[in-house]
Chain A
Amino acid sequence: DVKVTQSSRYLVKRTGEKVFLECVQDMDHENMFWYRQDPGLGLRLIYFSYDVKMKEKGDIPEGYSVSREKKERFSLILESASTNQTSMYLCASSFPTRQVRDGYTFGSGTRLTVV
Chain B
Amino acid sequence: AQTVTQSQPEMSVQEAETVTLSCTYDTSESDYYLFWYKQPPSRQMILVIRQEAYKQQNATENRFSVNFQKAAKSFSLKISDSQLGDAAMYFCAYRGNTPLVFGKGTRLSVIA
A interface vs B, CB < 8 Å? 31, 33, 35, 40-45, 48, 58, 88, 90, 92, 97, 100-101, 103-104, 106, 108-109
How many chain B residues touch A (CB < 8 A): the figure is 26
Residue numbers of B with Cβ under 8 A of A are 6, 9, 31-33, 35, 37, 42-45, 47, 50, 52, 91, 93, 95-97, 99-105
With CB as the reference atom, state the residue of chain A lying closest to B45.
A106
Interface Cβ pair total, 8 Å cutoff: 51
CB of B33 within 8 A of CB of A43, answer: no
Nearest Cβ on chain B to A50's Cβ, whole angstroms: 9
Interface contact B91-A48, CB-CB below 8 Å: no
Q: Which residues of B contact A58 (CB under 8 A)?
A: 99
Cα distance, A35 to B31, chains bound together (Å): 24
Distance in Å: Cβ of B55 to nearest Cβ of chain A: 10
Docked CA distance A48–B43 (Å): 21
Known contacts A43-B102, A100-B33, A103-B50, then 16 further A-B pairs from the complex at CB < 8 Å, ordered by chain A residue = A31-B99, A42-B102, A42-B103, A45-B99, A92-B45, A92-B100, A100-B31, A100-B96, A101-B50, A103-B33, A103-B47, A103-B95, A103-B100, A106-B44, A108-B43, A109-B43
Check if B35 sits within 8 Å of A40, measured CB to CB: no
- Report how far A31 CA is from B98 CA in the complex, Å: 11
Q: Return chain B residues, CB-CB under 8 Å to A88.
A: 43
